[in-house]
Amino acid sequence: MPITLLVTRDFDHMSAVAADVVQKNIARILAQKREFVLGLATGSSPTGLYKHLAKAANEGAFDSGRIRSFNLDEYVGLPGENPQQRALHPESYSYFMIQEFFGLLRKKFIETSVPYGTLIDQKQLTKELKAYPEDWQLLGQGAGRSIAIKAKAASKYLAWIKTAILDGYARKIQRAGGMDLQIIGVGGRGHVAFHESGIPFRNSKVLLVKLDGNTMGNAVADGHFQSKKEAPRYAISMGAELVYQARTVVLLASGERKVGPVAESLLGEVTPEVPISYGQVYAQRGGNLVYVVDQIAARELLACKDVRKKEKMEIKVL
């Protein structure tokens, strides 16, 4: 299936166009079945879309009471004495979703799910990883890597994380029938959620990720945490393999930092160095991939004269 590229004027225009794409998809699917399964992202990219989508739902454009949602990722190691405190920490992605989307809806979703990162005690995790080095291995070529826990881990705690936290989240999505539509943003290195640059695609359904020092440092510099000691050292994240199993994927990108990743993901080779490049495989297999980007983020892509590549895309400058 051709990749659709919608080029918008700016962030506000991108948000409105993306919301229209999502809204129409929801309405179409809900005319065919009882529930819609919606994949959600955090970060700045989807915030405008969420406001438009909540407004449309509140005005009756679609029935938000027939939607079940799953988020891409969540931190492990947020400050707090227990899972409840960690989930309600102002930097948790659960809290973000309440503030930016769920709390705006008059009629709530059937159910909202966020990866179970707040259930994990970071100190216990670190202790078990140190005590049972044979139970796991680091995968990836970059600074941020996934921690692959073996199927028969000797550590009961690590075995619980693999079975209940990682595989359990993937199973819950599967039981819901899979994602009808997944909203994603893109990181500065072409990563999606915490599927960092260099983490392999294979077996990347739900990942336990060891965050790199730069990620933690940036979280402090941006004011999210008071110190690097307070910043989480791990995260739970859907991987590219699971993200691109959705029947439709809507990718949002705006601004200068996204210029390179947007172009590389569509014009370059499929590589774990640019995780969103997996979208090319997804589209070739019949997936419905829609890029909604502003004209800045699309600049390098539109300047490319490689017609052979562009023939695989349907490009609309709005």
CB 239 within 8 A of CB 283: no
Q: Rounded to an integer, what distance in angstroms lies between the CA atom of residue 70 and that of residue 148?
A: 22
Report the relative pairing of strands 73-76 and 234-238 from DSSP bridges.
Answer: antiparallel
197 near 88, Cβ under 8 Å? no
Spatial CA neighbour of 309 closest among 284, 273, 290: 284
Please name the residues in contact with 160: beta carbons below 8 A apart, sequence gap of 6 or more: none
pLDDT in tens, 63-112: 999 999 999 999 999 989 999 999 999 999 999 999 999 999 999 999 99
Beta-carbon neighbour count of residue 265 at 10 Å? 26
CA angle 48, 95, 193 (to 5 degrees): 65
Residue 117 vs residue 189, higher pLDDT? 117
Contacts of 99 (CB under 8 A, 6+ apart): none
Q: What is the dotted CATH code of the domain comprising 3-317?
A: 3.40.50.1360
Locus of tokens 């979280």: 219
Mean pLDDT for 197-208 is 94
Nearest to 214 by CA among 228, 193, 195: 228
pTM here? 0.95
pLDDT tops 90 at residue 39: yes
| Residue pointed to by tokens 């993306």 | 18
At 286-314, the pLDDT tens digits run 999 999 999 999 999 999 867 555 668 89
Domain ranges of the chain: 3-317
Provide Rg for the chain, Cα atoms: 19
